[in-house]
Amino acid sequence: MNTAYTREHSGRFAAIPRGFRSDSGKGLLDGQAKTHDEPKWKSSPEKRLLCATCGHYITSRDRSREMSGNHVHVFTNPAGFTFRIGCFSSAPGCITAGEPTGDYTWFPGYDWSFALCGGCMAHLGWLYESGSDSFYGLILAELAEEYLQ
Ligand SMILES: [Zn+2]
């Protein structure tokens, strides 16, 4: 038995080639999942996320981060609208608008301003800033995954 050959052979086939993952990602961003932890969210860190309105590149999954242990948070604003947002360390495709304010902030210690799509100005979420930290909370329903063939 040639064990060295067997080990090398099986090792090569253990790798999952890009584009052959079984999860399609469909429905991931449209609010179907009910809980905060979503392992699928982290399965393709290189995937780009686009503005659902115009297709402008906004951010990517490898920029996702957690706040208080969760990437996804669900909040309701004072007007009664509920948002399901994901936290991202940066969002190169966003522009920000408005003066940062701590009013009604969903993340204590962080001031927010509006995050808009740099392509079509759609409201995608909020930039949160504290003294030494900042992140984007982006409305998942406003983002679309880029499907690579
Ligand atoms: Zn857009």
- Tell me the CA–centroid distance for residue 116 and ligand 1, in Å: 8
Domains in the chain, number: 2
User: What's residue 146's pLDDT?
Assistant: 86
Averaged over 93-107, what is the pLDDT? 96
**Are 48 and 89 found together in one domain?**
no
**Are 38 and 98 found together in one domain?**
no
Which CATH number do you get for residue 112?
2.170.150.20
Range of the domain at 13: 2-60+144-148
- Tell me the CA–centroid distance for residue 32 and ligand 1, in Å: 23
**Are 45 and 71 found together in one domain?**
no
**Are 44 and 68 found together in one domain?**
no
Residue-wise pLDDT tens digits, 7-53: 434 444 444 444 444 444 444 444 444 444 444 544 554 689 999 99
CB 30 within 8 A of CB 86: no
Averaged over 54-78, what is the pLDDT? 95
Averaged over 84-108, what is the pLDDT? 97
Averaged over 59-86, what is the pLDDT? 95
Q: Which one has a higher pLDDT value, 125 or 4?
A: 125
**Are 43 and 81 found together in one domain?**
no
* Residues in a beta bridge with 82: 76
**Are 86 and 118 found together in one domain?**
yes
Q: What is the share, in percent, of the chain residues with pLDDT greater than 90?
A: 64
**Are 25 and 69 found together in one domain?**
no
- Tell me the CA–centroid distance for residue 83 and ligand 1, in Å: 18
- Tell me the CA–centroid distance for residue 90 and ligand 1, in Å: 17
**Are 41 and 77 found together in one domain?**
no
**Are 93 and 82 found together in one domain?**
yes
Of all residues in the chain, what percent are helix, strand and coil, respectively (each to 5)? Answer: 15, 35, 50
**Are 53 and 90 found together in one domain?**
no
- Tell me the CA–centroid distance for residue 13 and ligand 1, in Å: 40
pTM tops 0.75, yes or no: no
User: What's residue 81's pLDDT?
Assistant: 94
**Are 28 and 55 found together in one domain?**
yes
**Are 53 and 67 found together in one domain?**
no
- Tell me the CA–centroid distance for residue 71 and ligand 1, in Å: 22
